[in-house]
Amino acid sequence: MSREQEIRNLRIDKITRLKDAGMEAYVDPGSVRQDLTLKEAEEQFTDLEKSGKEKTIVGRIMVKRGAGNISFAKLFDGTGEFQVVLRTNELGKDRMKIFEKLFDAGDFAEFSGTFFVTERGQESLLVNNFRMLTKSLLPLPEKWHGLEDLEEKYRKRYLDVLTNKDSRKRFLLRAKIVSEIRNMLDAEGFLEVETPVLQNQASGAMAETFNTYHNDYDLDIVLRISLEAEHKMIMAGGYPAVYEIGKNFRNEGSDPTHMQEFTMIEWYRAYRGLEYNMELTEKMLKNIAKKIIGKTKFEIENFSGKIVEIDFGKEWEKIEFNDLVKKYADIDLETATREEIEAKAIELGEKSKEAKKMSKWNLMDSIWKKSARKKIVNPTWVTRYPGNLKPLAIQNENGTAEVAQLVLAGFELSNHYAELVNPIVQRELLEEQVKAKSEGDAEAMEMNSSFIEAMEYGMPPMTGTGVGIDRLVGIFTEQNNLRDTVFFPLMKPKGKSKEVENKSKQI
């Protein structure tokens, strides 16, 4: 029998012993008395001590020590920590014995008493009554040092955030970041909307889908890969500005900088151009850095595992896609042949077999990712991507698209489009994507007839933006693995999981 199983059996036995002592192990939540949170107890301690009034606090016992005539426990309730002191001369021997023998670290409990300062200067509650609220059966990680095994940390995030202050703070910051984004967009006059996760067909991005089946409709459906098409269709209904914070799903490779389930914020604004969205994004991110995080410089690993400093406070440079590729890959994508582009992609590390199946445009993207993108550290606007890589954006005469992508530390954080609303051109571009898919490009887009039909009814000129929330949180909390920015990253079942990589790499 494992040590953990032995502890569990002992604690189950304590449930019976508690009941014999006249105390329930699990109480009705409506019966819980909480006069103030632990944070309030700490903040108001001076007045509470002077008043001498009895108060009741609750929380999880994180540390329990002492024996005989005095015991100490450190409580945590999600707002803060506070110490309670139990003495035999206050409670009597029988009650002290119940606490010492039947209460454990991990239990939730209620303590009543008055506030005082111990001889060692510790602000505390002197307990005159207590009871169990929830009896824990399994022990917390030993010595309150938190989980050290990376996979266990992801599988049991509840223990990670309970015992690791840095992890707990990180998820609080994530919530504040999302809230600040909402506040800024609401103040700009945007309407928050919701669009479906289950869709008849994927659109709005180049990615492989997760496929499922609708039993009642007898219909093959997919999980969405983007929020874009539905947002533009909503715009056709007359709303001037919309946004959504929602999940997307892409059936692609895993590494520390990519997850198949991820959170995006997308917003669309009618009667504004690309520059408006670039300015709004820069204002938003600089505001989050200063207001929520309290600094503008952040350290994070780049593609090679080197720690680089990102400075949001600097002026954000603006450079065209092809100029960067010419500089770092020594090829002019606007004049190069398909054969030259394929050869360069293979030279930079693309597998020959895969390269032959890829479209010319995805080969360009591969060259970009394996050369120029890696070199960018500070926030940089990369503009005028190859048009076929951005078929939902306005197309320029030189074969580029009217887009800007925010790149930093070697990866892409956000996309910004001057949105294409010409249904004739849009149909032609999507037909090219369908052709590429039929020739073996699994990530090419499909024809979305409903989207084209909505566009034919008329969409206003607009600009749109998509920002990866998980990556944004990763930067602002200086995390190199995106799994550390979400509560429950997808994991293989125990025994089947491959080793979790802790080193960042780019694809």
**pLDDT over 60 at 506, yes or no:** no
Percent of the chain with pLDDT over 90: 79
Indicate which CATH number applies to the domain containing 281.
3.30.930.10
**pLDDT over 80 at 437, yes or no:** no
Length of the chain: 507
Q: Whole-angstrom Cα distance, residue 401 to residue 404?
A: 9
Contacts 24+ apart (CB under 8 A), 356-363: 357/439, 357/440, 357/441, 358/441, 359/388, 359/436, 359/439, 359/441, 359/444, 360/388, 361/386, 361/388, 361/389, 361/436, 362/206, 362/389, 362/441, 362/443, 363/338
Query: Is the domain of 136 the same as that of 204?
Result: no
User: Three-state DSSP class for 67?
Assistant: strand
Residue 225 lies in a domain: yes
From residue 89, give the alpha-carbon distance in Å to each of 69, 70, 109, 114.
Answer: 8, 9, 21, 14
Averaged over 385-405, what is the pLDDT?
92
Tokens of 190: 């945007």
Tell me how many degrees the CA angle 188-189-195 measures, rounded to the nearest 5. Answer: 110
Residue 324 lies in a domain: no
pLDDT digits (tens, 9 = 90+) for 279-320: 999 999 999 999 999 999 999 988 777 899 999 999 999 999
Residue 507 lies in a domain: no
Confidence of residue 504 (pLDDT cuts 50, 70, 90): very low
**pLDDT over 80 at 495, yes or no:** no
- Final residue belonging to a domain, choices 100, 119, 140: 140
pLDDT value for 147: 63
Q: Whole-angstrom Cα distance, residue 363 to residue 357?
A: 10
pLDDT digits (tens, 9 = 90+) for 29-57: 999 999 999 999 999 999 999 999 999 99
From residue 452, give the alpha-carbon distance in Å to each of 8, 204, 283, 335.
Answer: 60, 12, 33, 32
Query: Is the domain of 24 the same as that of 127?
Result: yes
**pLDDT over 50 at 415, yes or no:** yes
Query: Is the domain of 174 the same as that of 247?
Result: yes
**pLDDT over 90 at 436, yes or no:** no
Q: Are 480 and 486 in contact (CB under 8 A)?
A: no
DSSP letter (8 states) at residue 498: P
Query: Is the domain of 251 the same as that of 188?
Result: yes
pLDDT digits (tens, 9 = 90+) for 89-117: 999 999 999 999 999 999 999 999 999 99
Query: Is the domain of 94 the same as that of 232?
Result: no
Residue 249 lies in a domain: yes
User: Three-state DSSP class for 37?
Assistant: coil
Name the domain count of the chain.
2
User: To which residue do tokens 């895993």 refer?
Assistant: 254
Residue spans of alpha helices (H) in 238-375: 274-288, 321-329, 338-347, 352-357, 360-370
Residue 503 lies in a domain: no
pLDDT value for 167: 94
From residue 320, give the alpha-carbon distance in Å to each of 202, 272, 325, 333, 393.
Answer: 29, 21, 9, 12, 16
User: To which residue do tokens 């309030």 refer?
Assistant: 40
pLDDT mean across residues, the chain = 92
Query: Is the domain of 121 the same as that of 163?
Result: no
Query: Is the domain of 109 the same as that of 249?
Result: no
Query: Is the domain of 274 the same as that of 200?
Result: yes
Averaged over 246-266, what is the pLDDT?
90
- Final residue belonging to a domain, choices 117, 140, 163: 140
Query: Is the domain of 216 the same as that of 116?
Result: no
Query: Is the domain of 172 the same as that of 95?
Result: no
pLDDT digits (tens, 9 = 90+) for 324-344: 999 999 999 999 999 999 999
Confidence of residue 67 (pLDDT cuts 50, 70, 90): confident
Residue 116 lies in a domain: yes
Tell me how many degrees the CA angle 481-382-229 measures, rounded to the nearest 5. Answer: 75
Q: Are 468 and 246 in contact (CB under 8 A)?
A: no
pLDDT value for 496: 61
pLDDT value for 465: 97
pLDDT value for 507: 31
pLDDT value for 389: 87
Averaged over 197-217, what is the pLDDT?
88
Query: Is the domain of 21 the same as that of 136?
Result: yes
Indicate which CATH number applies to the domain containing 26.
2.40.50.140
pLDDT value for 422: 95
Q: Whole-angstrom Cα distance, residue 154 to residue 157?
A: 5
Query: Is the domain of 225 the same as that of 284?
Result: yes
Torsion sign (Cα): 387, 392, 393, 397: positive
pLDDT value for 262: 95
Residue 393 lies in a domain: no
Confidence of residue 230 (pLDDT cuts 50, 70, 90): very high
Residue predicted with more confidence, 465 or 447: 465
Q: Are 418 and 463 in contact (CB under 8 A)?
A: yes
Domain that includes residue 207, residue range:
153-316+463-485
pLDDT digits (tens, 9 = 90+) for 449-479: 899 999 999 999 999 999 999 999 999 999 9
Confidence of residue 505 (pLDDT cuts 50, 70, 90): very low
Q: Residue 203's closest CA among 486, 462, 453?
A: 453
pLDDT digits (tens, 9 = 90+) for 341-366: 999 999 999 999 889 888 888 899 99
**pLDDT over 90 at 9, yes or no:** yes
